[in-house]
Amino acid sequence: MAPQAKLMGLRACWQQPDQATRCNSFTLGKAINYAILNGAQVINLSLAGPPDRLLDRLLDVALERGIGVVGAIDAKAAGPAFPANHRGVLAVASQPAGGKAAPAAGAEADPALLAPGNDIPTTAPGGRWSFVSGSSYAAAHVSGMLALMAQLQPKATPAQLRRLLQPGDALNTVNIDACATISRLLHHCSCSCTANLTQRGVGP
């Protein structure tokens, strides 16, 4: 989504014999701290777990320094979970399929953002391609959007970028529209406007 972005891959989690992935406060704390100290502009946290004082404080520092933080919402969680429930974090859920209700970010968090997260093509072990679904992939979509927006508008704050992603007075959830967001950022019509005009018979 953001071809000029540089990625900082920080491995804070590990896979267990049953194929489940686990992290802990210490490894996550080290990764977030490293990202803060080494100039990350966007931190993607495609994970969910219990609230943690150390991690909450690190996220506060990241947000205070103008770093955009994106967290995946765990649709199976019984209550608010880190990091989606942390105020200031962009809590992201996968756009629901089949008429299902979208998960909430939690009472203390900002409204959830909905992004594509169903049947996403990706690489898989063994040199294969596969299709995956879930909030983790939706969160990566929003992180890519933030990176592209920061590239187009370097002086914008995370709060300003969030307002572009989430216009209006949404109370619960907002569907991400990449073309409309870029149009608002650049103050002129992009692909969504062109498509609408063409459908109405006034385009080229």
Domain ranges for the chain, please list them: 13-176
pTM as predicted: 0.80
Which residue matches tokens 């489940």? 20
Average of per-residue pLDDT across 171-185: 73
Cα 110 from Cα 189, distance rounded (Å): 28
Amino acid sitting at position 116: P
pLDDT of 98 reads 59
Residue 14: pLDDT band with limits 50, 70, 90: confident
Cα 28 from Cα 50, distance rounded (Å): 13
DSSP state of 49: B
Average of per-residue pLDDT across 157-170: 69
Q: What percent of the chain has pLDDT over 90?
A: 38
Residue 104: pLDDT band with limits 50, 70, 90: low
The CATH H-level (homologous superfamily) assignment of domain 13-176 is Peptidase S8/S53 domain (3.40.50.200)
CA angle 13, 134, 169 (to 5 degrees): 110
Q: What is the mean pLDDT of the chain?
A: 80
Q: Are 50 and 23 in contact (CB under 8 A)?
A: no
Q: Residue 135: helix, strand or coil by DSSP?
A: helix
